[in-house]
Amino acid sequence: MKLLREGYPVKRVCIIGGTGKVGQTLVSFLRTANELSIVFYAESYEQECKLRASFQDNLVDFEICRSPQAIQKADTIVLIAGKRTSRGSGKSDLYQLNKEVIDPYLDFLNHKNVILVTNPTTLLGTYLGQRLDAFIVGVGVQNDFNRLKFQCPHVDFVMGAHNLNEQCYFNNSQQLLFDGFKSTKVYSEARNQQDDYVSSGDFEKLHSTFLENDIHKWWKIQRYHTVVNSSSYSCALAIMQTLSNLNENIHSVIHAEVCVVTPSGSTYFIGVPLLGKNLRCTDTCLMQFIDMHLDQLSNYKVA
């Protein structure tokens, strides 16, 4: 098993987007990234105004550029730009919406690191992997893992997509602890229960679900957090962890959705554990994961 491409050293970073929850939280992290040259690309005066307001709140003054030259000159692009669908819309709707957001930038992204934050991360990463000669890395699974590890320290690594229904959790012996592909009923029941508690104002029962000691605890809390709060610390942290891993400045396992090539030559854009440029799980474990979930992973097949 191998990665389709290896990442490039990170020196100059261009961030596309950054006016939403993730971007504004990321700004507070970037103030300590003194070894990197940071520029934000703004496609409109409205975006630039929002960025300048965010910079002032964080007491920083990053460069803002309105020209695509900022993208061309960077070795690493952080794609945060994106839109949100209305409540009740599905992942396919979000995919179509945000594919249109990132399409104008495709010509500028070859031969770079592309750190993908825009949702649905794994689907969009597959789309980019089919079109670009670039090192594409999604942060969605690491974002999930940051929250999961906080609640369940016994989980050592994750494989899959940025979606609870498409993730498997493993311990440090590479034994399977949870298969999200087979737990759709659990997921839907927890979602409906939470919606009922919120709509009826029964926050005592909602609170009790947050205290349950199960492997879904992180997701239950995160789902509510997404609706009611306006920060995204663990996602911004995942971006910084990815930047550090590209420069091999991190000595612990991170997760990245990357293009993985199987011995048969098939390529999938899926989340795997990495340490630097190396897979942090055995080939046997990864192939068993892929073979068990071939139907679902066909959505993330690059070649």
Whether the CB-CB separation of 19 and 47 falls below 8 Å is answered with yes
Evaluate if pTM is beyond 0.85: yes
Provide CATH code, domain 2-140+231-246.
3.40.50.720
Q: How far is CA 12 from CA 33, 242, 252, in A?
A: 11, 14, 24
Tell me the pairing of strands 12-16 and 37-41.
Answer: parallel
C-alpha 146/C-alpha 231 separation (Å) is 15
Report helix, strand or coil for 96: helix
C-alpha 21/C-alpha 33 separation (Å) is 19
Q: What is the pLDDT of residues 244-270, one digit of tens each?
A: 999 988 888 899 999 999 999 999 999
Two tokens, residue 277: 């440029």
Give the pLDDT band of residue 91 (cuts 50, 70, 90): confident
The DSSP letter of residue 215 is T
Give the pLDDT band of residue 88 (cuts 50, 70, 90): low
Two tokens, residue 233: 């610390």
> Domain segments of the chain: what residues?
2-140+231-246
